[in-house]
Structure 1
Amino acid sequence: MSRLPERAHREQWRYHPLRAVAAAASVFGAVVAWTLVMGPAVAAPGGGGCVPVRTRAHHSEGASSWNRAYPRPRGDLDAVMVFLSFPDSPPKLTTRAVEADHFPATSRFFARASYGRFRLHAHAAHRWLRMPGTSYSYGIRRDWADADRARYLRDAVAVADKAVDFAKYQVVYLVADPDAPGVDSDATKVVNLARPIRADGVSLRRLVTVFEHHPPDRNVLAHETGHAFDLPDLYYRPPAGSTADWDTHVGDWDLMGSQFGLAPDPFAWHKWRLGWLGKGQVRCVRHTGAAHWYELSPSDAGAAAPRGTARLLVVPTGGDSALAIEVRGGAGNDARACRRGVLLYEVRADVGSGDGPIDVLDGHPGTGACANTSVYPPLADAPLGVGESFSYDGQDGSTVRVTVAGRAADGSWTVKVTDDQA
Structure 2
Amino acid sequence: MSVFAAVVAWTLVTGPSAGGAGGEVCVLPRGTAHHSEGVSSWDPTYPRPRADVDAVMVFLSFPDARPSLTPDELAKDHFPATAQYFARASYGAFRLRPHVVPVWLRMPLPSTAYSIARDWGAPVRSRFLSDAVAAADPRVDFRRYEVVYLVADPDAPGVDPDATKVVSLGSPLHADGIELRRFVTVFESHPPDVNVLAHETGHAFDLPDLYYRPPAGSHADWDTHVGDWDIMGSQFGLAPDLFAWHKWKLGWLRSSQVHCVVDSGTHTYRITPVERPGGTKLLVVPAGLKSVVAVEVRAATGNDRLTCTEGVLMYRVRADVQSGDGPVDVIDGHPRTSGCSQVSVYPPLADAPFRAGQEYEVGSDSRIDVVARHQDGSWTVRVTQG
User: For this structure pair, what is the TM-score category when the shorter chain's length is used for normalisation?
Assistant: over 0.9
User: Aligned ranges for residues 194-233 of structure 1 at < 5 Å?
Assistant: 194-233=170-209
The question of 1:360 aligning with 2:295 is answered: no
Structure 2 unmatched ranges of 5 or more: 1-11
Give the corresponding residue for 1:382.
352
Distance 1:169 1:299 in 2: 30
Tell me how far apart the structure 1 counterparts of residues 218 and 70 of structure 2 sit (CA, whole Å): 41
SS at match of 1:51: coil
* Shift in Å, 1:287: 4.0
Structure 2 distance, partners of 1:321, 1:362, is: 17
**AA in 1 matched with 2:344:** S
Matched-pair contact (CA < 8 Å) for 1:253–1:263: yes
The answer as to 2:34 corresponding to 1:58 is yes
Are the equivalent residues in 2 in contact too, given 1:41–1:67 (CA < 8 A)? Answer: no
Q: What is the count of residue pairs matched by the alignment?
A: 371
Distance in 1, Cα, partners of 2:88 & 2:209: 21
Match of 1:293 in 2: 268
Secondary structure of the residue aligned to 1:417 is strand
Task: Give the match's secondary structure for 2:372.
Answer: strand
Aligned to 1:44: 16
Amino acid at match of 1:348: R
Matched to 1:134, the amino acid is P
**What amino acid does structure 2 have at the position aligned with 1:326?**
E
With normalisation by structure 2, the TM-score equals: 0.94
Deviations 1:111-149 (A, max 9, x none): 000000000000001000000001111111222222111
Partner of 1:77: 53
Q: 1:70, 1:142 → 2: CA distance?
A: 22
Q: Give the distance between the partners of 1:179 and 1:327, measured in 2 at CA.
A: 43
Displacement after TM superposition at 1:195 (Å)? 1.2
1:183 is paired with a residue whose SS is: coil
Q: In the aligned structure 1, how far is the partner of 2:117 from the partner of 2:217? A: 20
- Contact in 1 for aligned 2:151/2:186 (Cα 8 Å): yes
8 Å CA contact 2:48, 2:205 repeated in 1: yes
Deviations 1:50-79 (A, max 9, x none): 221110011000011111111110111000
Alignment of 1:39-188 (within 5 A): 41-46=13-18, 48-188=24-164
What secondary structure is seen at the aligned counterpart in 1 of 2:180? strand
Q: Does 1:338 find its partner at 2:316? A: no
Equivalent of residue 409 in structure 1, options 358, 363, 375:
375
1:250 equivalent to 2:216? Answer no
Kept after mapping to 2: 8 A contact 1:44/1:66:
no
State the Cα deviation string for residues 344-395 of structure 1 (Å, max 9, x = none).
00000000100000000000011101111000000000001122222232xx
Following superposition, the deviation at residue 82 of structure 1 comes to: 0.3
Amino acid at match of 1:92: S
**Cα displacement string for residues 65-101 of structure 1 (whole angstroms, at most 9, x for unaligned residues):** 1111111101110000000001111110011000000
Gaps of 5+ in 1: 1-39
One-letter identity of the residue aligned with 1:342: V
Q: How many angstroms apart in 2 are the aligned matches of 1:386 and 1:329?
A: 15
1:369 aligns with 2:339: yes
- 1:253-272 to structure 2, matched below 5 A, reads 253-272=229-248
Distance 1:216 1:88 in 2: 22
Relative to the length of structure 1, the TM-score reads 0.86
Tell me which amino acid in the other structure corresponds to 1:298. P
Question: In structure 2, how many angstroms separate the alpha carbons of the residues matched to 1:400 and 1:131?
Answer: 59
Residues 160-218 of structure 1, C-alpha deviation per residue, up to 9 Å, x if partnerless?
Answer: 11110000000000000111111101111100011111111111110011000000000
Amino acid at match of 1:375: V
- Residues 272-351 of structure 1: matches in 2 within 5 Å? 272-288=248-264, 290-301=265-276, 303=277, 305=278, 309-351=279-321
Structure 1: how far apart are the matches of 2:365 and 2:229?
Answer: 24
Separation in 2, partners of 1:415, 1:316: 16
Give the 3-state SS of the residue equivalent to 1:101 in structure 2. Answer: helix
SS of equivalent to 2:114: coil
SS of residue matched to 1:121 = strand
Partners of 1:130 and 1:159 within 8 A in 2: yes
Q: Hey, what does 1:391 align to over in structure 2? A: 361
Q: Which residue of 2 aligns with 1:12?
A: none
Share of identical aligned residues, percent?
Answer: 63
Query: Partner letter of residue 418 of structure 1?
Result: T
1:44·1:64 contact (CA, 8 Å) conserved in 2? yes
In 2, the alpha carbon distance for the partners of 1:90 and 1:402 equals 59
Q: Which runs of 4+ in 1 moved over 3 A?
A: none
